[in-house]
Chains A and B, each alone.
Chain A
């Protein structure tokens, strides 16, 4: 049994609000990913859970006990650092056994548990080596073993795979998930990689600028984004800014001279909105039709399994639609129709969104 609760937790640095009033309940045995762009406060949140940073406001509870004032050595959490932070002067076995020895366990117990944990992470037979004699993936596994050997209630991981190459990253991703399932351990996993979050986590908590945007499973986050930020950050979206016009049950967004039918979820007529539409929610037509817009400068980008159709529209700017890999342009005109578009109140200025998208190469790293 191990659940974690963040209650209105905040952390302010001199000129930045790193974490802004975050409340989050992580259930027993749950794998939650903290996802967001660089600098959104993920690490700060995780380090507050581990006890390395004291929140300026709010509480942290583990199994109902307030641990806000406890130092890291007195919390039932274990952390895997992005840099692994293996002790270079100790062998692999000593690294893993360090915490057990602190607990003054009998020698054979220490050895047995160390060996078993190295087995769990798939690293038998390197016990006498020093960390510098291991590959990145192996170091990663040692770091994981070192954290898990103490039987923590909560496992915390801060971008543990970011130093590995793409292939290994995918393998370790599955491995970490397998181990988490095997040990049934409540886990908080920080990442800026949405693919990691979507594939590994039971639930994803999306953050931006210290604010928790949405918490939900992969489907929620992808299909029912709560904010324009989430819609844009997860997957990719066409983003338009306009004004909402509500008439009875139907709503449209006025974007320049164009009108796009949208889901507006109870927003009032006249609201300034950001409209988001996924590339796969754009229908591509060969002939003009109602609600369809002609694309200028259309071109195709091949992604292997599918293609993306890129083009411009005078009112919307750049638009993007997903098309089958057999799709060809053949110099014929193309039109797109928004089959599903969502409108969000533009409390987040559109400038913010583009700014975020522009300075976020991390997303594609």
Chain B
């Protein structure tokens, strides 16, 4: 028998993943980079919104002022737009969830015929430039009387949010072991009961994330809303788009901060929630 070559020491190129200190450092680095990328533009905006006087090359404004905020918040068009935006987004989110959760479940679990085709169909509105879709939708809205209405805007927003939410919930439901549901059935639960006692709680983090995205997407949508909502239904981003040229720079900054605020708040809330105990336990199982 030939002499065996001495075994080479096993060198793994991924050693740094195994080293917890290294991993923590990389994670911090990544988080830091992310913070810089998102934080610096945001910070600039905040500074602009409070700037009384700010000329190049000063790093921060030389004079501070609340005047822009006052100007914006005292403008009734702005408060109306804010009110409208915040009445549309929750309705869009709720309606989307109502459709996307059962749809996602069906796609994940049931033997839906042509499942791939249907999922693809769902994606089609995203595959083309949105503006074309909006224009043809506007034509349709004229014919059925949805143009310049609240529900017209809601349905338009739902075209986008439905896609995201169905995809996310499908993935979420698919990640839940069907045996968990079967075990509930075995213990005497009806299909509906098994869904609400076992599947829903486990899918909740995914559903919350998806709802969050829907909410923010609705809050941010400007193109389509501009086309089907004018002249009476002006949301925050539409107002921002239409008036940005006629306003001064600090006013645009105030607007942007106003628009970014809910997103930030929601993300913080979500982050809190996603750390709750049982989610961690659920993930620990995998």
- List chain A positions with a Cβ less than 8 A from chain B: 50-52, 71-73, 77-79, 81, 83, 85-89, 98-99, 102-103, 130-133, 146-147, 150
Contact = CB atoms under 8 A, between A and B. Distances in A.
Contacts of A51: 185
Nearest to B204: A89
Given A87-B180, A102-B193, A132 B285 contact: yes
Interface string B178-215: 01101111111110010001100110000000000000
**A-B residue pairs, 5 tightest by C-beta:** A99-B187, A85-B179, A132-B284, A85-B183, A130-B281
A146 B182 contact: no
A102 B282 contact: no
Contacts of A85: 177, 179-180, 182-183
A130 B202 CA distance: 14
B31 to A, nearest CB: 26
Contacts of B197: 98
A225 to B, nearest CB: 34
Contact of A89 (B177, B188, B278): B278
Size category, B interface: 20 to 34
A72 B198 CA distance: 16
B188 A150 contact: yes
A103 B281 CA distance: 27
Contacts of A99: 187-189
B182 A133 contact: no
A71 B185 contact: yes
Contact of B190 (A52, A73, A133): A73
Contacts of B201: 89
A72 B191 CA distance: 10
A44 to B, nearest CB: 14
B186 A89 contact: no
B281 A88 contact: yes
Nearest to B180: A85
Nearest to B278: A89
A83 B179 contact: yes
Given A99-B188, A102-B193, A103-B188, A88 B183 contact: no
A253 to B, nearest CB: 40
B189 A89 contact: no
Interface in B253-286: 278, 281-282, 284-285
A89 B202 contact: yes
A150 B189 CA distance: 12
Contact of B281 (A71, A89, A147): A89
A71 B278 CA distance: 30
A130 B185 contact: no
A79 B202 contact: no
Given A71-B185, A88-B284, 14 more contacts: A72-B182, A72-B186, A73-B185, A78-B186, A81-B182, A85-B177, A85-B180, A88-B278, A89-B201, A98-B184, A98-B187, A99-B187, A102-B188, A132-B285
A147 B182 CA distance: 12
Nearest to A131: B285
15 contacts: A72-B186, A77-B186, A78-B186, A78-B187, A81-B182, A85-B177, A85-B180, A88-B281, A89-B202, A98-B184, A103-B188, A131-B285, A132-B281, A133-B281, A146-B187
Contacts of B282: 88-89, 132
Nearest to B187: A99
A79 B188 contact: no
A103 B188 CA distance: 8
Contacts of A103: 188
* A52, A77, A89, A146 — most chain B CB neighbours (10 Å): A89
A79 B284 CA distance: 24
B189 A73 contact: yes
Nearest to A103: B188
Contacts of B185: 51-52, 71-73
Interface string B240-263: 000000000000000000000000
Contacts of B190: 73
A51 B180 CA distance: 15
Nearest to B178: A85
Contacts of A86: 183
A130 B182 CA distance: 19
B202 A88 contact: yes
A256 to B, nearest CB: 34
Contacts of A77: 186
Contacts of A150: 187-188
Nearest to A82: B179
Nearest to B198: A87
A288 B241 CA distance: 103
Nearest to A75: B186
Nearest to A98: B187
A245 to B, nearest CB: 46
